[in-house]
Amino acid sequence: MINSMTGFGHFEGESGGFHVIGEIRSVNHRFLECSAKIPRIYGFLEEKIKSFIAQNMTRGKIEIYISLEPLPDCNTAAVQVCVNENLAREYGKAFERIAFLTGARGTSRINGEICPAVYDAFTASDIARMPDVLTAEKPETDEKLVWETTKFALENCLKQFLEMRKREGEKLRDDILNRADIIKKHINKIEKRFPELKTEFREKLEARMRELLENVTFDEQRLLTETAIMADKTDVSEEIVRLNSHLEQLELFMNENAPTGRKLDFLVQEINREANTIGSKIQNLEIARVVVEIKSEIEKIREQVQNIE
């Protein structure tokens, strides 16, 4: 079935110890272009997300949004506070030395050395506040778990996203086929009227040439031959056949299960080329108006095709 390149999908829920939010949105684009907005800490997800999208879509400008927040009881959310024991011990020695040098209360000397004692001049909290004594560390990210959680969110977004693209695609298909039917009716008008127009053109051309050659001796057979040749140059039978063939091909493309946007884009160019040729060959006001109607429908089809994957 025909799929539109315009779509949106959203998911919010819990999985793998995370509260996860995912969004997929897209607009029409000549090629596949994907961008992902994800938390910086999970930057490794970007290429995986793009690969996942490429497996499910072939055209469109795709924007992905992913938010991952660890749940409170999740191991991923745990933070470990670590003590730099060597640094804390050195700060303690330095504080004791300062207390002794400044005569702070609680300091004493035995045999010229500072006695190990608890000094009122400083406490454990003073040491804990010193740079790099305490550090908060998160456990290493489980990349496999994070990706499985992200993929779960993407798959749920994708269900909504693809369903919307399918619905939009059905509307595009119906509209394009309706316009193709209108073009066929216009072509039928030209096809029925063309034999009469060809005869009229030939008669007018012959009469005009006789008028111009009124006082000149000429070969009657040669005049009829040249008139016939010029009249044949206005023949659009081949263009009508090709135009009908292109419209049949258009219907076939509209019923394919594979992405056909690029093929349709090319086919519409060919349809427009044949319509232009018909308009330039038949110099008739009535046919010119019909050709304008045909080109108007072709332009509307072209606009719709730009949204098809």
Chain segment 226-275, per-residue pLDDT in tens: 655 566 667 788 889 999 999 999 999 988 888 888 899 999 999 999 99
Give the per-residue pLDDT at 142.
Answer: 79
Percent of residues, the chain, with pLDDT higher than 90: 43
Asked if the structure places residue 190 within a domain, the reply is yes
pLDDT category of residue 218 using cuts at 50, 70 and 90: low
Say whether both 292 and 199 belong to one domain: yes
Q: Which domain holds residue 106?
A: 79-137
Say whether both 185 and 301 belong to one domain: yes
Contact predicate 77/71, CB 8 Å: yes
Say whether both 12 and 157 belong to one domain: yes
Is residue 164 scored above 60 in pLDDT?
yes
Give the per-residue pLDDT at 119.
Answer: 45
Is residue 27 scored above 70 in pLDDT?
yes
Say whether both 63 and 41 belong to one domain: yes
Asked if the structure places residue 186 within a domain, the reply is yes
Tell me the C-alpha distance between 32 and 202, whole Å: 53
Tell me the C-alpha distance between 35 and 302, whole Å: 27
- Structure-block tokens of residue 215: 């006082």
Asked if the structure places residue 244 within a domain, the reply is yes
Say whether both 174 and 271 belong to one domain: yes
Largest CA distance in the chain: 147
Asked if the structure places residue 51 within a domain, the reply is yes
Contacts for 117-120: CB closer than 8 Å, 24+ residues apart: 119/95
Give the per-residue pLDDT at 94.
Answer: 85
Say whether both 248 and 284 belong to one domain: yes
User: What distances in angstroms separate CA 291 from CA 56, 219, 272, 282, one per listed residue?
Assistant: 40, 38, 10, 10
**Chosen domain end from 97, 118, 137:** 137
Asked if the structure places residue 2 within a domain, the reply is no
Say whether both 94 and 230 belong to one domain: no
Is residue 292 scored above 50 in pLDDT?
yes
Which residue in 267, 249, 252, 278 sits closest to 187, CA to CA? 278
Say whether both 88 and 46 belong to one domain: no
Say whether both 260 and 244 belong to one domain: yes
Tell me the C-alpha distance between 71 and 16, whole Å: 9
User: What distances in angstroms separate CA 283 from CA 178, 233, 278, 279, one per listed residue?
Assistant: 28, 12, 9, 7
Say whether both 31 and 102 belong to one domain: no
Q: What's the helix, strand, coil split of the chain in %, to 5?
A: 60, 15, 25
Asked if the structure places residue 1 within a domain, the reply is no
Asked if the structure places residue 252 within a domain, the reply is yes
Asked if the structure places residue 197 within a domain, the reply is yes
Residues in the chain: 309
Say whether both 153 and 195 belong to one domain: no
Number of domains in the chain: 3
Say whether both 223 and 241 belong to one domain: yes
